[in-house]
Amino acid sequence: MISPNRIAPFVSFLRKPLRKGQGLRTVSAAALLCFTTLLAGPLIAQDQPPKPVEDIVAVATQDALTKTIADRVRQSWAAWKKGDAAAFDALTTEDYREVAATGTLHFYRFTSQELAAFPITQFTISQLQALPIGHDGALVTYVGLITFKNGGPGKFAFGEVWIKQGDEWKCQYSQATAMFVP
């Protein structure tokens, strides 16, 4: 909102009686004030709706393994974001293990209540790369910028082991390390 103190010099200028030769200057100042108010008024007065949040997964290389697992990583974060433990479980092995950024060891699949305890509003995955380990394994690394509903954004480096079970890649192990954001 425009402060009355900022408008006062213009208003007092406009209230002065016209002298010979000042008519054009007063009309110009009034026109400028009206034009500025017309342009800025709607922008200041309106509350802008928040932009829709877009989740991003960017890969470091374009090989088939990295692309395939990048899609699975996106699906797992989307499941977490929705609080959908069943969808998250479908992307992990029965013996899934995790070391959280806090150092907490997690020796089982997540429940809906655990996912809901750390709700996220957005995730941006970058520098994702998958390197083969034998025929049915992959070491996956990436950086994640995760925005938590209750605590703001956090940046983490992830290291994961994915294995192929049948025709599907599933995460067997995940470790997150908190990164300092300057």
Indicate whether 160 and 107 sit together in one domain: yes
- Same domain assignment for residues 12 and 82: no
pLDDT beyond 80 at 28: no
Structural domains in the chain (count): 2
pLDDT at position 12 over 80: no
Q: pLDDT band at 81, cuts 50/70/90?
A: very high
Same domain (yes/no): 33, 87: no
Regarding whether 160 and 92 lie in a shared domain, the answer is yes
Beta strands 137-148; 120-133: pairing state: antiparallel
Among 95, 92, 151, 99, residue whose Cα is nearest residue 121: 151
The confidence score (pLDDT) of residue 48 equals 45
Domain membership flag for residue 19: yes
Task: Average the pLDDT over 56-63 and give the result.
Answer: 73
pTM greater than 0.85 (yes/no) = no
What pLDDT band is residue 42 in, cutting at 50, 70 and 90? very low
- Asked if 76 and 38 sit in the same domain, the reply is no
Give the pLDDT of residue 35.
36
pLDDT at position 117: 85
Could you list the residue range(s) of the whole structural domain that residue 19 is in?
A: 4-45
DSSP secondary structure letters along 110-128: PPHHHHHHS-EEEEEEEEE
Query: In degrees rounded to 5, what are phi and psi of residue 136?
Result: -125, 30
Residues 132-136 have a mean pLDDT of 94
Residues 93 and 156 in one domain: yes
CATH number at residue 80: 3.10.450.50
How far is 166 from 177, CA to CA, in rounded Å?
A: 30
Residue 110 lies in a domain: yes
Residue 68, pLDDT score: 95
Query: Residue 145 has what pLDDT?
Result: 92
Question: Taking the CB of residue 3, how many other CB atoms lie within 10 A of it?
Answer: 7
Tell me: do 26 and 81 sit in the same domain: no
pLDDT surpassing 60 at residue 70: yes
- Considering only residues 52 and 66, tell me which one the structure prediction assigns the higher pLDDT: 66
What is the pLDDT, as a whole number, of residue 27? 39
**C-alpha dihedral, 151 to 74 to 129 to 161, nearest 10°:** 90
| 17 vs 45 pLDDT, higher one | 17
pLDDT band, very low/low/confident/very high, at 45 (cuts 50, 70, 90): very low
Let me know whether 30 and 60 are in one domain.
no
Same domain? 12 vs 71: no
For residues 46 and 16, give the distance between their C-alpha atoms in angstroms, rounded to a whole number: 33
Residue 50 lies in a domain: no
Task: Provide the mean pLDDT of the chain.
Answer: 77
pLDDT the model gives residue 20: 55
Residue 88 inside a domain? The answer is yes
- Taking only the tens place, the pLDDT of each residue in 98-127 is 999 989 999 988 888 888 888 899 999 999
Query: Do residue 93 and residue 135 come from a single domain?
Result: yes
If one compares 135 and 150, the residue with the highest pLDDT of the two is: 135
